[in-house]
Chains A and B, each alone.
Chain A
């Protein structure tokens, strides 16, 4: 079974400051990892994903995340926050590979609400 822990339910930064959203995972098999963003009353939009290729993954809107197996982490960063980045961010893990009953099922973290101050 897999699980995800997002450290910090709320993160507040100033516009132009570094954004760091933390995610740690637990998985018995090599994981696929995802970051999604959700704006109020909307579905989820994929920011980026790690699927066992490069450990540093670049996504949309200037976000990136680094897979660190030794730390079981997949933290999301952005060098300079914009007001439009204010949203809720979800880290998720799935079991990839050849299939099986768990194939493709996403387990989400609790979410982190990012607030950006002017």
Chain B
């Protein structure tokens, strides 16, 4: 149990376009989902915390108008990178947590390349 999927696994886009990444908890209801960004050879940096039915909480330095997060259901959260630029190229990883459980289960990640 506790499987989290992400789609797409890899995306290449042109500068200025928007990209949507989906994160799904396949076999449990996730009241909270987290979005991370990982640059090459670096650790994961939390971008935002997403609670179902409410606005996401962004970490300091993360532009909420650029990284739009929607958590419309207990099994789906989406991250939209708006007007993507090459510096947004990164590995984006989501995680999901069940209510009352202190463990995050991670998705396989999405590799975003902006040309």
Chain A interfacial positions (CB closer than 8 Å to B): 32, 34, 36, 41-46, 49, 51, 90, 94, 96, 101, 104-111
The answer, among A41, A51, A101, A106, for a CB contact under 8 Å with B104, is A106
Residue of A nearest to B109 (CB): A43
Tell me the complex Cα distance, A51–B97, Å.
15
Task: Given A41-B111, A42-B108, A43-B109, decide whether A108 and B43 contact each other with a Cβ distance below 8 A.
Answer: yes
| Smallest CB separation, A104 vs chain B (Å) | 6
How many residue pairs bridge A and B at CB < 8 Å? 54
Contact A105 B43 (CB under 8 A): no
A6 to B107, alpha carbons, bound, how many Å?
23
**B106 and A110: CB pair below 8 A?**
no
B-side residues, CB < 8 A to A, are 4, 6, 32, 34, 42-46, 49, 57, 91, 93, 95, 97, 102-109, 111
Chain A residues in 8 Å Cβ range of B6:
43
Q: Which of B43, B46, B57 contacts A111, CB < 8 Å?
A: B43
Q: Which residue of A lies closest to B104 (CB)?
A: A106
Tell me whether A94 and B109 are in contact in the complex, defined as CB-CB below 8 angstroms, given that A44-B93, A106-B46, A111-B43 are known contacts: no
Residue of B with least CB distance to A91: B43
**Distance in Å from the Cβ of B44 to the closest Cβ of chain A?**
5
User: By the criterion CB–CB under 8 Å, are A43 and B102 in contact?
Assistant: no
Contact of A90 with B43 in the complex, beta carbons under 8 Å? yes
Contact B107 A43 (CB under 8 A): yes
Q: Who on chain B is nearest to A110 by CB?
A: B43
B106 and A44: CB pair below 8 A?
yes
Q: In the complex, what residues of A have CB within 8 A of residue B107's CB?
A: 43
Could you tell me the distance between the alpha carbons of A106 and B34 in the complex, rounded to whole angstroms?
9
**A42-B108, A43-B108, A43-B109 known; A108 vs B44 contact (CB < 8 Å):** yes
Cβ contact of B49, chosen from A36, A90, A105, A108, cutoff 8 A? A105
